[in-house]
């Protein structure tokens, strides 16, 4: 062997390689709080807080002088679409919570009152579902931009 | 991500220790390459810390929602107002920062 020390160095480097190869590149797991929710109101609550966390990160990026202007502009456009969707979601979830409270209050009332409350709750639930679905894409777009910059 | 970067930094440090064993004509060049890689990883570590910051916030929200789901507790109007208030505050700060950056 002409270069035993180099061979030992190479062996050590190769021995250390599996430690790197076994590491998950996406080791930082980004949690999705919405999947933990079981009810509509919990989903909306998780979506609003998660969206707020994403905007907070987006703000840090915008404040970074090294971030490209084009990227900041893209963040701005995404936020302008996502925030109104979040506001619609908040209105829908507030209406749902009210309708649910009315339904619970009507449990001891007459049958027509109970039916009216049930119908109102069904409509509020459908609207909340629609608002959740409508908010999903614009919020995900902003989140994807933040992750693209950060990760 | 931080774990990944840390392991790479450790590997680079280990490789640097073997630098004296490298052929003398390549030693300087190898040292430069290792130094650049170390600097790049340090910068990557700063970025990863921010990713971790978002991951921590999302994990905290998830933990709260999991607790709600486990107890079968409904979200109150006050909690929803607080969530929306956080969105509005964050959105206001974002737009302010955007305007300040000239975009």
Distance from CA of A111 to the nearest CA of B (A): 25
One domain, residues B54 and B97: no
**pTM of structure:** 0.69
B46 and A34 in contact (C-beta within 8 Å)? Answer: no
One domain, residues B19 and B42: yes
**A143 C-beta neighbours (distance < 10 Å), count:** 23
Q: Which of residues 73-102 of A touch B (CB under 8 A)?
A: 73, 75-76, 79, 83, 86-87, 90, 93-94, 97, 100
The pLDDT tens digits for A25-64 are 344 566 789 999 999 999 999 999 999 999 999 999 999 9
- Please judge whether A97 and B77 are an interchain contact, meaning their C-beta atoms are less than 8 angstroms apart: yes
* Mean per-residue pLDDT, B37-58: 67
pLDDT at A5: 60
**B37: contact with A, CB 8 A cutoff:** no
Please list the ranges in chain A whose pLDDT falls under 70.
1-30, 150-151
One domain, residues B68 and B79: no
For chain B, how many structural domains are there in total?
2
Residues in CB range of A45: below 8 A, 6 or more apart: A37, A93, B65, B68, B75, B79, B80, B83
pLDDT at A23: 36
Q: What percent of chain B has pLDDT over 90?
A: 46
Instruction: Give the range of the structural domain holding residue A136, as residue numbers without chain letter.
Output: 32-150
One domain, residues B42 and B80: no
Domain-located, residue A14: no
- Cα separation of A138 and A129, whole Å? 15
Instruction: Give the range of the structural domain holding residue B65, as residue numbers without chain letter.
Output: 2-72
Could you tell me if the ipTM is greater than 0.90?
A: no
One domain, residues B64 and B81: no
Locate A46 and state its tokens.
């998780």
């Amino acid at each position: 062997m002409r270069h035993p020390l180099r061979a030992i160095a190479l062996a050590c480097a190769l021995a250390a390689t599996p430690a790197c190869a076994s590491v998950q590149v996406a080791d930082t797991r980004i949690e999705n709080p919405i999947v933990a929710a079981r009810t509509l109101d919990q989903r909306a609550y998780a979506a609003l807080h998660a969206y707020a966390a994403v905007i907070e990160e987006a703000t840090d990026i915008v404040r970074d002088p090294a971030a490209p202007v084009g990227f900041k502009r893209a963040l701005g456009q995404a936020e302008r679409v996502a925030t109104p969707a979040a506001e619609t979601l908040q209105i829908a979830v507030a209406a749902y919570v009210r309708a649910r409270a009315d339904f619970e209050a009507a449990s001891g009332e007459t049958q027509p009152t109970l039916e009216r409350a049930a119908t109102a709750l069904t409509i509020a639930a459908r609207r909340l579902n629609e608002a959740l679905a409508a908010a999903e894409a614009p919020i995900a777009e902003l989140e994807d931009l933040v992750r693209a910059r950060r990760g | 991500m931080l774990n990944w970067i840390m392991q790479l930094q450790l590997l680079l440090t280990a490789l640097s220790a073997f630098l004296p064993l490298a052929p003398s004509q390549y030693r300087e060049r190898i040292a430069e390459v290792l130094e650049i890689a170390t600097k790049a990883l340090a910068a990557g570590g700063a970025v990863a810390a921010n990713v971790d910051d978002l991951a921590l916030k999302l994990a905290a929200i998830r933990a709260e929602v999991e607790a709600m789901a486990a107890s079968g507790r409904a979200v109150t109007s006050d909690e929803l107002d607080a969530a929306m208030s956080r969105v509005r505050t964050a959105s206001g700060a974002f737009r302010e920062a955007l305007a300040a950056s000239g975009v």
